[in-house]
Chains A and B, each alone.
Chain A
């Protein structure tokens, strides 16, 4: 898969060759939900900066507000307090340069895999002139044989690949990953983690990953952010400077993993 994507990678970025990842800044963002008139705080003064091309993972206990943070970054919801900006420009709504990949692939069941991947280009009126990018994106995730299949015919891993292709076809500057591998079996998951790293290295986007898998965070990210229980605050930031490609058995990564478990209050479980 790696070998045959060398060509498509250039095609995917042909629109703007200088486009690499975007910088993201989250400045003192707090957010709350309205639950039957009561205000439920979910995020508390989150301050985080991502350099262009960085791969940052966010870890935290389930239900702490990680996904909410990603929705704010994607521009799907506005923050209650604080400011989010990409490359210095305030985030005021969804934009095709920031694509979010959800835990559930959420492919449209009435469209073929090809049309699902083509969705972003179609929405922006670029499909007619950039049809080959859809084929490239499908090849990139190894689904080129399944262009005419319907989502219900795909396995879980294939669906998630299709969702990834649907994001990558837009050549995002920031890829927002909301536990994208959470529902996959462990073998598919490991294979997809490797692919994610190589995609990120080749396409050069900035990646913001939410996960609850410490090993995944340590294996993928160059920096790991640990959040507290709801309302989520940043309680630790762990830099991970090991070069890519990484190996799961690397003692340095194992050590990092132990440290992060400690931040999550699970030191004795390790």
Chain B
């Protein structure tokens, strides 16, 4: 018994990777050294090789400085790692650091230096840097506007979907009336409501909130409902014999038991909400990153579009990671699931 619990609680995973990282760092300083050198190389390439055809990019020097700074940090990390041997995480991301340096160096070479790709469709990295720095006010405003709209719509949709899902699973009457509606309306993409919603709601902001809530709410409702419906009857028997009231059954049995399903719905809803957010901002709302993309296209400002896309990708990916963190914390009892 004791043996079983030990191996289960302590686990072998974390200690093994720590050991691995330690051993590797003792053997090969080049694991971090190579990316450090690559970033330095990219910096030198950027600053020493003159730009193609007399085009003069404003931020070439800054880009080179940024590359060099990253290279310097990595070089320091090599020393720290060598003397103190304590950076296993860095070892894990080192190959990606190297690949990124090569990718950005290559991009710099074929755009700014060799001019192999037509402008303005394929701007060099310093052009993106220029956008991020010079147009930062508009970008920050866009990010904040997008996040505000997304948060409002997503939270509303998730809360309503959760409540309706629980009600459907718990009450046969609610299930009877809601299920056909859900079956008919659910498969409609929320964006199909867009023309109607902009017409019916007082503002494009409220219309977009509604659409995002709709896109989020459908999967959350369906999965919460199926989660509640699939709770084992034996769990209820136990709680009932122990003197649990209806309220206790819902709060302490149904909800925790249905949580894994609910989270699947929340993930699907989050993906849907991104799509609707961007479309709504492009077509109606006059703010946010989606609107910024549209606006940049009007000016043929391709560097701005790439920058906005990159920021969007980082934010959306960050939000999904955040949701995974919340799930891992709440469902710590459930191990060995999909990792992000």
Interface residue ranges, A against B (CB under 8 Å) = 74-76, 94-96, 98-100, 102, 104, 106, 108-111, 119-120, 122-124, 146, 149-150, 152-155, 157-158, 166, 170
Contacts and interface: CB of A to CB of B under 8 A. Distances in A.
Contacts of A74: 241
A108 B5 contact: no
Contact of A102 (B8, B234, B256, B331): B234
Interface residues of B, number: 27
Given A123-B248, A150-B333, A96 B5 contact: no
Contact of B240 (A76, A149, A155): A76
Contact of A123 (B4, B245, B257, B335): B245
Contact of B8 (A100, A109, A153): A153
B253 interface: yes
A166 B241 CA distance: 11
A110 B257 contact: yes
Given A108-B256, A152-B333, A76 B248 contact: no
Interface in B216-256: 232, 234-235, 237-245, 248, 252-253, 256
B142 to A, nearest CB: 40
Contact of B5 (A94, A154, A166): A154
Contact of B243 (A95, A150, A153, A157): A95
A149 B5 contact: yes
Dominant secondary structure at the A interface: loop
Contacts of B9: 149, 153
B241 A110 contact: no
A102 B235 CA distance: 11
Given A100-B237, A123-B248, 14 more contacts: A94-B240, A94-B241, A106-B234, A106-B237, A109-B334, A110-B256, A110-B333, A120-B242, A123-B245, A149-B9, A152-B333, A153-B5, A154-B5, A170-B243
Contacts of B242: 96, 99, 119-120, 123-124, 166, 170
Contacts of B257: 108, 110
B242 to A, nearest CB: 4
B259 interface: yes
